[in-house]
């Protein structure tokens, strides 16, 4: 067994974007150009960076993108009204509201206001319910990206023990459901799990999505495991780093994702995938 093979999320995402570009060209020939609206409220620097990456990816695959930038003091009422306009806009097939939002705005109300058929983030309660019950849904982008990475790497999931560290609605909960769909046995842990390593050392597949710098070290993994690092943190030196101590863990495991260049690019690729999927649904109805 090879050790420490890096799962190249950046390369996989580039392949998926090429596939999506072909699908977009076909849709355009049918008179439907996929359109994504990205709403950014405030001046958060990290959010601005993420949004730029999403707009660039849209341009690369031929998806129409509309960036809506609103000031920090935007009211919840004003934002909900803007979302309602986008819900009615037939040129927009996907709506993404970049999180986090300013304190005066409830993210739950905003997510619930998005037309579920345009919820390409996969966060709407209706989409979450469809995922839970095994119905067709727009899959949340990061969990979907993780699943695609594992499959494209030839990693078998059926019968494997997967341990997910993190219980967020965005990553932890949905990725556990997707892994169960693939017949993995899933254990869910989180930042308050006692004796965390006693669980993580059992994992054939370990997904770290808790948002703490280097929380997962060599003592948390068993030899030959597959490690997926979802964390996006800053090291004490200010460098981008994950939840996993990459240098300490890599020699022990069979596969591992880097930060950056791992899960992040796949998340954006799956956002485009959902947007194109939404446009295909519209094209089939016309």
Closest Cα to residue 39, out of 3, 87, 4? 87
The one catalytic residue in 8, 98, 119, 229 is 98
Q: In whole angstroms, give the CA distance from residue 256 to residue 8.
A: 9
Q: Is residue 54 annotated as a catalytic residue, yes or no? A: yes
At residue 131's C-alpha, the angle toward residues 25 and 281, to 5°, is 25
Q: Is residue 98 annotated as a catalytic residue, yes or no? A: yes
Q: In whole angstroms, give the CA distance from residue 151 to residue 138.
A: 18
The one catalytic residue in 8, 23, 118, 121 is 121
The one catalytic residue in 8, 23, 54, 277 is 54
Q: Is residue 202 annotated as a catalytic residue, yes or no? A: no
Catalytic residues: 54, 98, 121
């Amino acid at each position: 067994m090879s050790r420490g093979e890096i799962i190249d999320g950046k390369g996989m995402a580039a392949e998926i974007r090429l596939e999506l570009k072909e699908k977009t060209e076909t849709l355009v020939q049918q008179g439907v150009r996929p359109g994504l609206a990205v709403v950014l409220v405030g001046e958060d620097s990290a959010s601005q960076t993420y949004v730029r990456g999403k707009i660039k990816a849209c341009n690369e695959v031929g998806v129409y993108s509309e960036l809506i930038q609103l000031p920090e003091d935007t009211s919840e009422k004003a934002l909900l009204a803007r979302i309602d306009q986008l819900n009615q806009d037939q040129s927009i097939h996907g709506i993404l509201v970049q999180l986090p939002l300013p304190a005066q705005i409830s993210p739950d109300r905003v997510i619930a206001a998005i037309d579920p058929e345009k919820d390409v983030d996969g966060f709407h309660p209706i989409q979450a319910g469809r995922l839970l019950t095994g119905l067709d849904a727009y899959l949340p982008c990061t969990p979907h990206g993780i699943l695609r990475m594992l499959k494209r790497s030839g990693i078998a999931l059926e019968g494997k023990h997967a341990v997910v560290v993190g219980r967020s609605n965005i990553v932890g909960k949905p990725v556990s459901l997707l892994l169960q769909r693939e017949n993995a046995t899933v254990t869910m842990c989180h930042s308050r799990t006692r004796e965390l390593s006693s669980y993580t050392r059992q994992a054939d597949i370990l997904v770290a999505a808790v948002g703490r710098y280097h929380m997962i070290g060599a003592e948390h993994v068993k030899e030959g495991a597959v490690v997926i690092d979802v964390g996006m943190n800053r090291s004490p030196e200010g460098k981008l780093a994950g939840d996993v101590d990459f240098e300490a863990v890599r020699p022990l495991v069979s596969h591992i994702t880097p930060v950056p260049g791992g899960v992040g690019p796949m998340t954006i690729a799956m956002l485009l995938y959902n947007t194109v999927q939404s446009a295909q649904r519209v094209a089939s109805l016309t």
